[in-house]
Amino acid sequence: MMREAISLKRKAQSNSIWNKFRAFSFMLLALGFSCSSTSREEAKEDAAGNAWTVTVSGKIGHPQTEGQITIQEIKNGTLGWQDTIKVKSNYTYSKTVKISEPGYYKINFFNKQVVDFILFKSNIQINVDGNDPRGFVEIVGSPEIDLIKQAQNIMQEAERTPAVIKLGEDYTKAVQARDEAKVAEIQAAYQTELKKSHDKLAELLKSQPLSLGTINLLQSNALDRDAYSHVYIAVADKLKKEWPDYAVSKEFTTSVDRMKVLAIGQPAPEISLPDTTGKIVKLSSMKGKYVLVDFWAKWCGPCRQENPTVVKAFHKYKDKGFTVFGVSLDRSKQDWVNAIKQDGLAWTHVSDLKYWQSEAAKTYNITGIPFSLLLDPNGVIIAKNLRGGALDSKLAEIFNKKTN
């Protein structure tokens, strides 16, 4: 299928809702739950307005005679407090929870079926099968999960348009004919179609009142952080004003503040590290050329696999005003120098040999490699993580414009 093949290609180039969801929202979207349009019941607020008493209730289609229902908080990626819920004789249950901020929760039915959900100011119903891990789930009254479902529908509708279906048919023919140029053309057209749904999703998220559903979708990279940085920034600004003290707000706004440092259009932060001879070299000394800032290491398999592509681009465009600034996260100088020689990396290299504790890695918030940024001659970021043919395509676009 074209969609499957293209989604694999997108993993290295963009953060799609299909392949970059965090575990929580992925579970919500994958379970096949339904959302009711019935009116929501607001939770009871305490006198000071600092906490809410929320009721979680529902019906169980196939209650079990063994085991129990448990509800548990998920906080900072770990499991928090846990409590049990008694099943009533009519196969219903109800639990009152006092909360002071929006949060993630997990409800386990007899160790047979688990449902993740978001809880804040609305009482919600979670109706389930109760005996099947992938059985029926209906969540009623949760504006956050309603929003996630809307996002899912937008992306699913995009995959069912006549244009995308036709692209799928053309893609199959191109693959069978081994027409690589046609395959690339169709993939580009697919990305154009996909952007329409991403634009629609961006408008939806910007128009929503503050919601943990919005935060969850953005943290899950439902929208590409570079292409839609304005959405991330707008939501972060709202959080700082309206939810300044909530833990989820602080986590999200901190990540967006880091993201802004490396956003397209921003000047790249300075890097000042020793080269292989011990001489301090600054990234700013490369100004005047297009520079690929390439974070890598000898021990990084994907980095080594990508090196031939970078070598090819370097030799093709070095006389036109392009160079590479390699930043190694190695610990051993010998390993670093040997890898440079083995892979034929004939450009400037720097490293403080501090592994993930490298000062440059901290400045650039590096959590995985390979990671690269393309800078213009003024040191401004113009692209990120150009893998495979994408690097050559971007450089060809740049230097063809300069010669025309």
Q: State the Cα–Cα distance between residues 189 and 161, nearest whole angstrom.
A: 13
pLDDT at 150: 92
pLDDT at 66: 78
Segment 362-369 mean pLDDT: 91
Q: State the Cα–Cα distance between residues 141 and 402, nearest whole angstrom.
A: 57
Report the 10 Å Cβ neighbour count for 319: 7
Report the 10 Å Cβ neighbour count for 57: 18
Segment 327-336 mean pLDDT: 97
pLDDT at 42: 61
Strands 52-59 and 122-128: parallel
Separation in Å, CA 83 to CA 58, 69, 283, 303: 16, 9, 54, 46
Cα distance between the two ends of the chain: 39
pLDDT at residue 17 is higher than 70: no
Q: What letter would DSSP give residue 380?
A: B
pLDDT at residue 13 is higher than 50: no
Write the DSSP string, 163-205. HHHHHHHHHHHHHHTT-HHHHHHHHHHHHHHHHHHHHHHHHHH
Instruction: Compute the C-alpha angle 83/87/90, nearest 5°.
Output: 155
Q: For tokens 């509708």, what's the residue?
A: 157
pLDDT at 37: 42
Highest mean pLDDT among 26-35, 74-83, 261-270: 261-270
CB 213 within 8 A of CB 187: no
Segment 90-94 mean pLDDT: 93
Q: Which residue ranges form the domains of the chain, and what is each CATH number?
A: 2-23+150-261 (no CATH), 41-141 (2.60.40), 272-403 (3.40.30.10)
Choose the weakest-confidence range: 13-22, 37-46, 251-260, 349-358: 13-22
pLDDT at 348: 98
Residue 128: closest CA among 115, 111, 145 = 115
Non-local (6+) Cβ contacts of 176 within 8 A are none
Phi then psi dihedrals of residue 270, to 5 deg: -65, 145
Q: What letter would DSSP give residue 134?
A: T
Instruction: Compute the C-alpha angle 161/163/167, nearest 5°.
Output: 120
Tens digits of residue pLDDT in 141-195: 999 989 999 999 998 898 889 999 999 999 999 999 998 888 878 888 888 888 9
- Where does residue 355 fall: left (phi above 0), alpha (psi -120 to 50 degrees), or beta otherwise? left
Q: State the Cα–Cα distance between residues 130 and 65, nearest whole angstrom.
A: 11
Q: What are the b/e assignments for 75-112, b being 16+ CB within 10 Å? A: eeeeeeeeeebebeeeeebebebebebbbbbbbbbbeb
pLDDT at 402: 63
Amino acid, single-letter form, for residue 285: S
H helices then E strands: how many in the chain?
Answer: 12, 18
Separation in Å, CA 106 to CA 23, 125, 129, 143: 12, 13, 16, 17
pLDDT at residue 314 is higher than 50: yes
Determine the 3-state secondary structure of 283 from DSSP.
helix
Query: For all residues of the chain together, what is the average pLDDT?
Result: 85
Higher pLDDT, 240 or 23: 240
Q: Which residues pair with 41 in a beta bridge?
A: 123
pLDDT at residue 25 is higher than 50: no
